[in-house]
Chains A and B, each alone.
Chain A
Amino acid sequence: MSTFEQVQKIIGESLALGDRAERLTPESRLFGDIPEFDSMAVLTVVTSLEDHFDIVFDDEDISEENFADVACLVALVESKRQAA
């Protein structure tokens, strides 16, 4: 499973999106295209990504740029995995 597919699955599970998770693309905007994506949801996704990939996000990583769309989030995860 690619990193994108894993991130897509984690977002879907964390937000209980059901079948809608499959419609997420790299270009899907997190704030805007997903109504469930509020502050608590972001925190849940962040924690789930850390647990799943065994990575730790720094405070600076939780930024508007990294959470702009799914592709940005996937890039962040991949950079943290490489650094680990």
Chain B
Amino acid sequence: MVPDAEVDFAAGYIGGANGPLFVVQVGRADPGRLSVLLLPPFAEEMNCSRRFLVGLARRLSAVGCCVFLLDYYGTGDSGGRFADATPDRWRGDVAAVHDRLTAHFDRPPAWVGVRLGASLGALSASTVARPPSALVLIQPVTSGRSFLTQFLRLGLVSALAGGRREGPKDLLARSVAGETVRVAGYDLAPAMVSALQALDLATAMPPPATRLVWYELVRDIAADPPRRLRPPSAWGAAAPIERLLESEPFWSIQEPQVPATVLDAVCEDLAALDRSWVGR
């Protein structure tokens, strides 16, 4: 049963609107602790990020947080099929786990999202009854349309290894016609495709009172061209703290990566939150 205040590590299910949600808890769930909900990225990026997320959970628990790693509907050990998943369902999952943690801990959890997980977090933060204590966005997906096109390119790439050759245009046409398309082993229903196409981070309205931090990762700060990934200007009053971190883009590398710069930054940003909270 999670959250569990008696043990340092637990795994169990929290009821979601569409089925049971598998959640791993790292760190004792003392109600006075800062809880942190980790929001994973999409499909293969999630697989590549798994080691990082576990490393982050361990690191945060070592500094006194209680961390929860969520499998969205249709992924990992949660209920449902990926073919029935949509970003809206996943946002509902985030809200369900958030509400459960908010009821258990003295204050709402902080959220740390990676890529699409960060985007889902930004889009959901203002829709939960009590907003998250902080929102750390690690290289969020800003345009679902571009993100989807990149993902659908896997249909072209798989042809290089002897698979069937289908580009983004072919796959989108089949999806529009109502077919579920399979890309890199993932079944994408028409509802998933259309929702990803419509996803626009600029439409998110993060709550102004939530500490909001935006990370962009570059391999070599000195050598790389000027940064291009910026928070939407529409966020206005909710403009985040921006950090440029030197790190491998761990979500796109099959060899597991746990970049220390990112772990350090998340710890520092959440520690700052904890200090300000304790001071109230």
Contacts and interface: CB of A to CB of B under 8 A. Distances in A.
Contacts of A67: 160
Given A16-B253, A31-B161, A40 B44 contact: yes
B257 A16 contact: yes
A40 B160 contact: no
B269 interface: no
Contacts of A44: 252-253
Interface in B163-183: 163, 167-169
B248 A16 contact: yes
B154 interface: yes
A39 B157 contact: yes
Interface residues on B, range: 20 to 34
Interface string A44-84: 10110000000000010011100100000000000000000
Nearest to B256: A16
B157 A42 contact: yes
A59 B253 contact: no
A72 to B, nearest CB: 12
Contacts of B219: 13
Interface residues on A, range: 20 to 34
A42 to B, nearest CB: 4
B5 interface: no
Contacts of B248: 13, 16
A43 B154 contact: yes
Contacts of B253: 14-16, 44
B165 to A, nearest CB: 9
A62 B157 contact: yes
Interface of B: 44, 48, 150, 153-154, 156-161, 163, 167-169, 184, 219, 248, 252-255, 257
The 8 closest A-B pairs by CB, nearest first: A59-B167, A16-B255, A62-B156, A42-B157, A44-B252, A39-B157, A39-B158, A16-B253
